[in-house]
Amino acid sequence: MDVFEAITSRRAIKHFDPAHRMNDAEVTRLIEAAMQSPTSFNIQHWRFVTILDPELRKELRALGNDQAQMTDASLLIVMTADVDAWKKEPQRYWKNAPP
């Protein structure tokens, strides 16, 4: 699939089967794919938090404009980022940069 086909065929899925559960191998594959996303200077300042607890997912749904996906999707991953990561040992990002 080329990039233009990917862009034009993309869809936002809004309805999920609440009874469906992903197995550990599927979850691992998704997380590993997400970890391949590029970051500036390879900072990789993100963390992926898998939310399994149904009660916590209900709380997050209430905070997230009551989006059904938060409770109905078979997997809920919250992506967090350390926006100050670049301040921690910043020379490491420049050591392999071209002059």
Tokens describing residue 26: 């599927």
Task: Decide: pTM greater than 0.95.
Answer: no
Q: Is 50 helix (H, G, I), strand (E, B) or coil?
A: strand
Q: Domain extents for the chain?
A: 3-41+48-78
Query: pLDDT truncated to tens, each residue of the chain (99 aa)?
Result: 788 998 899 888 888 898 998 999 999 999 999 888 888 777 888 899 999 999 999 999 999 999 999 999 999 999 999 888 888 887 877 777 777
Longest dimension (CA), the chain: 55
